[in-house]
Chains A and B, each alone.
Chain A
């Protein structure tokens, strides 16, 4: 007990390196940037404007229309990931973890490969495949007699965002797959054996025994997906450009922020409005993560093995 009273230096030692590097390289610069949102440009310098930039962002229809458009697109982008990427990832992990599956190592490796490719490559190759001109996709559809289904998906306002979301799902499905796979493997054999003795096997075993046990992992994946999607930028940028065409149909918060903060073509960068958007994004993500931390995570039972 006497030990308890003493100052526990080891906690400081454990925390110090991470906190120091993180604070110096990330937090201080970011605070500097977010701070800009409270200022405005003025003759020969900047002036403190309080929340005026936020009033512009949400009050001036020129800004607010773009903002809500980006937010709505971003929500749709996220929804597709939740509805497609995560279920597919869980399904693949469940299949991979079935015992005595041959070639499991091969599948695992292959399915994860898109995740390690850079956005530059992913954007380029999917544009090539979906190109109406060089025709890999139209040619393949033609081969199965479905040519009429083909459309220049990336060029149509109605389909571009969904297409890009699916490309992103294609790229990142390996992440939920790996996390769930690790979680499934760490379920102790005794639990499975006990279930089998009770006659719970196959799909019902997955639903009744395994799924509840991997719920915390699914929770983490959901919140990671949320954060990643609301910070997404690169894929849209490399495939549709900073103006996120057609007609801003693929504009998400990340591209909106980039255009505003760094400028584009003749549009000069506006660090103050850019920082305002960044702060708004930060707020949205913070709320989402807090919902996860306080409302969901605390209710999930944690199992210690």
Chain B
């Protein structure tokens, strides 16, 4: 064991990881730092920290006076959480059926469900919008949840069924011998075992939903249903030359995702490690 944690090796590992961490965080640093500076300071010294002379909150004042960012944030949260829940639940169920049972049409169903990852759902926009108009769902968050659930399912099923094939048969058969129903085997035995995969899928599903601009723009552009990404995009358009406001809006868009991610990240890692330790 001592051979593996030898000093030079661990220094090298830390060196590489620190370097990459810097590369990953640098742009975020640039945005957040500059959002607190006056306009001229942004252009003159983009890398300097705000000082007493250059500190300026004008960008945030502009942004916050113009829109209800808290409401936008709540909308984004609602849409993301509900979509995530349905994608994970429906996705895991379908993945289980595909990976666990041999039945006629299994491969075909699998392929059918995988078609969705090969073609951008954006292309179906007009038909989707017509559907939402017909069902009266335009300008509701439900419309977004439905679209994102459909959009997230193919990839979730694809990844989850891959992982579920790796779950030990002995365990499931032991459960069956104990008289557990198929539903219990799924919910009690299999789901806990694929938690790492679920956590991974959750993160992948969450990102495009949170960051999507297109469907909020088309399906729910009203003030009451605007998401935070759409809200900040409107600002970027509106203040394209007012970099104080743009940077402040971007900072406001980054911070909530960051917090959300930091919370989820714990779960994610706990999920991954819990799955790995048996």
* Residues on A facing B (Cβ under 8 Å): 8, 10-11, 13-15, 17-19, 21-22, 24-30, 32-34, 88, 91-92, 95-96, 98-103, 105-122, 124-126, 128-129, 134-136, 139, 170, 175, 178-179, 181-182, 185-186, 188, 201-202, 216, 220, 224, 227, 231, 233-234, 254, 257, 261, 271, 274-275, 278, 281-282, 285-286, 289, 302-305
Let me know if B116 and A182 touch, CB within 8 A. no
Contact of A30 among B27, B123, B236 (CB under 8 A): B123
Known: A15-B93, A120-B250, A121-B253. 17 other contacts (CB 8 A): A15-B109, A17-B94, A25-B149, A26-B121, A92-B16, A101-B10, A105-B269, A108-B265, A112-B261, A114-B28, A124-B236, A125-B27, A134-B43, A178-B200, A254-B120, A286-B118, A289-B117
27 contacts between A and B (CB under 8 A): A10-B182, A10-B183, A15-B97, A15-B98, A17-B89, A18-B94, A18-B113, A29-B124, A29-B126, A29-B128, A29-B131, A32-B124, A33-B126, A98-B5, A103-B14, A107-B21, A116-B206, A118-B213, A122-B27, A125-B31, A129-B27, A170-B23, A202-B3, A224-B155, A227-B118, A271-B126, A304-B169
Q: Mark B255-273, 1 if CB is under 8 A from A, else 0.
A: 0011001100100110011
* Residues on B facing A (Cβ under 8 Å): 3-5, 9-10, 13-14, 16-18, 20-21, 23-28, 30-31, 42-43, 46-47, 86, 89-91, 93-94, 96-98, 101, 103, 109, 112-128, 131, 146-147, 149-151, 153-155, 157-159, 162, 165-169, 181-183, 186, 196-197, 200, 203-204, 206-207, 210-211, 213, 229, 232-233, 236, 246, 250, 253-254, 257-258, 261-262, 265, 268-269, 272-273, 275-276, 278
Let me know if B24 and A139 touch, CB within 8 A. no
Contact of B20 among A92, A179, A188 (CB under 8 A): A92
* Contact residues in A for B127 (Cβ distance below 8 Å): 28-30, 32-33
Bound together, the chains give a CA A304 to CA B165 distance in angstroms of: 8
User: Given A99-B4, A302-B165 in contact, is the A26-B118 Cβ separation under 8 Å?
Assistant: no
User: Given A14-B94, A33-B127 in contact, is the A113-B182 Cβ separation under 8 Å?
Assistant: no
User: Given A19-B94, A125-B30, A304-B166 in contact, is the A115-B196 Cβ separation under 8 Å?
Assistant: no
* Contact residues in B for A139 (Cβ distance below 8 Å): 46-47
User: Given A8-B101, A21-B146 in contact, is the A117-B131 Cβ separation under 8 Å?
Assistant: no
* Contact residues in A for B109 (Cβ distance below 8 Å): 15, 19
* Contact residues in A for B149 (Cβ distance below 8 Å): 21, 25
Let me know if A95 and B16 touch, CB within 8 A. yes
* Contact residues in B for A119 (Cβ distance below 8 Å): 211, 213
* CB-nearest residue of chain B to A284: B118
